[in-house]
Amino acid sequence: MLNRIFGLETEFGLLIHEDRPDHSPTWFSQKIRDHLFQVQRRGVLDLHHRGHDEPPGNGGFLTNGGRIYLDMGHLEYASPECHSLTDVVASDRAGDCLLQQAIEELGVSDHVSLIKNNIDHETDATFGSHENYLVSRRFPFSRRGLTPLVTFLVTRQIFTGAGRVGAASPQDAWIQVDRLIVPRTAVGPQGGSRLPFQISQRSDYIVNDFFEWVQHNRAIVNTRDEPLADPNEYRRIHLLLGDSNMAEYATALKLGTTGLVLQLIEEGHAPQDLEIEKPVEALQDISQDQERNWVIQLLSQRTMSAIDIQEQFLDCALRHCKGQDEETDWVLAQWASVLSDLRGDYQKLVGRVDWASKLWLLECFREAERVDWSDPLLKSLDLEYHNLNRAKGLYYGLVEEGRVPRMTTDGLIRIAMDEAPKNTRAYGRSALVRHLLGGGAPTDAVQRTNPEGLFPAYVINWSIFQVRGRAPFPMLDPFRTYLDDVRTHLEPIIG
């Protein structure tokens, strides 16, 4: 894609198949992490505190340039920086395979399952799927400038949603009203509803249009300014409203269409006069609309369907982006195809759109077993759609039946499990990780804690690293590989 760096961060649920398990999900998560770093030696563990909740050994960088760590007790995988949709989809799937492979090698695949979804039906907890897009520092990052992005994001769930049974409880959160921060319950009704099915998992948990912090005040657009690159040149658009997708097609289309809309905004070509009157409410209304008409009200008091709004963005992208590269043209063609199919029978989307695939599977089960939406088995099947175990996951059943178009191959995913993309700075970081592994990097950061005041053997962050005895090495341009520079920087250490 033109001038774009993509990244995905995925938080995983862990399901224990025992009524009274001997160990907690966090215990299993730690075992999986330790197996990846200490046994498989897929990467190097952090030797320093990354934060008050990230002590040494909590996680680390991998040879593929990405990162695996524990976030509040659950596993999270961050992909390396990717410059193409093919790479980001392959890198995302590589994270799934790394974790599932560890479970199988540990011999616990019959006892636990990793679930790549965004909800826990029992506790009402939510797990995040965060998207990252590099834009120019000149990007109009203001409420007015971001209005087209908000409209696009609210409505794109019609093809990016993962679907879920039921609804979340009303969210207890604080939101900004003019210059005041007030409880959300103070500005509107918060009544829950018993829904059979909705198209998005995260929509129920989004309570703001814009907000800086992510926990308990999840927003359509996260306003934290953390570029992880040269702050004079770049800004990172960090989104946390989206669902974790199992379908490779949905992942590619989600990232590709969003990347093109960011380009339209950057170049001043985004469609105007589409501001939504109440974006958060519209986000949830679209997800929960059982008739799938998806009609919302704009600030102008006009009403439009989400499909009509998406088609206006598509028309702008066709006029201004068509022909700029092969991936762009694929996104434009598939965007048009999926919007056309959304106007007909949802079953046309099975295999491409997760919510449609899941709904079809659940409806087939309901018809065969003659059960209604209140049957608790439906929630179990909801989770099994996202099971990373190929022998159990319902999504992988669709793959085996040939119903799912692939954006990658198993061979490409295997490469992405071990190697970084060769056209971003992840390639240089991968060389660093391999160098440290080759030099006998500590496999247990806790046991190798340095004496107080002594700099650890290495410190690695996304945009900078330092090896003991050498100057810090900044990597501020994500489009550069830094490969030769990293090797030169490390030569005195190995010479």
Residues annotated as part of the active site: 71
CA-CA distance, 18 to 112, in Å (whole number)? Answer: 9
Contacts of 438 by beta carbon, 8 Å cutoff, 6+ apart: none
CA-CA distance, 78 to 280, in Å (whole number)? Answer: 27
CA-CA distance, 286 to 292, in Å (whole number)? Answer: 8
CA-CA distance, 312 to 270, in Å (whole number)? Answer: 9
CA-CA distance, 75 to 14, in Å (whole number)? Answer: 8
DSSP state of 169: P
DSSP state of 38: I
- Please, are residues 190 and 184 in contact by the beta-carbon 8 Å criterion? yes
Contacts of 88 by beta carbon, 8 Å cutoff, 6+ apart: 6, 7, 8, 79, 82, 251, 252, 255
DSSP state of 63: T
Burial of 318 (0-12, 13-18, 19+ CB in 10 A): middle
Contacts of 489 by beta carbon, 8 Å cutoff, 6+ apart: 470, 473
Tokens read off for 351: 């295999």
Nearest partner of 40 among 89, 96, 88, 103, judged by Cα? 103
Nearest partner of 356 among 335, 364, 256, 392, judged by Cα? 364
Cα dihedral 251, 155, 381, 112 sign: positive
